[in-house]
Amino acid sequence: MIPILNRINQLSRKAKETGLTEIETREQTELRNEYLQIFRGSIQSTLLNVTIYDPHGADVTPEKLRQEQAKLDRP
């Protein structure tokens, strides 16, 4: 598990139980944004390594994705 998730969860529990201070609210927002960046980067990395085939075995990978994959293959 991503280490920041533990802190995000702690702050979420505290928000429900007793509320957060202004500093904790800012920290929670920053941690959530950082987590979203990590998550989106992971998804993007996964998608850049995908090839899509139709039921007949033909490569139907979208052209935009192929272009992005080609950028990574260039030195």
User: 51-55 long-range contacts, Cβ below 8 Å, gap at least 24?
Assistant: none
Query: What is the rounded CA–CA span in Å between residue 62 and residue 52?
Result: 8
What pLDDT does 62 receive?
94
Q: What is the pLDDT of residue 29?
A: 97
Instruction: Per residue of the chain (75 residues), give pLDDT as tens.
Output: 678 999 999 999 999 999 999 999 999 999 999 999 999 999 999 989 999 999 999 999 999 999 988 888 766
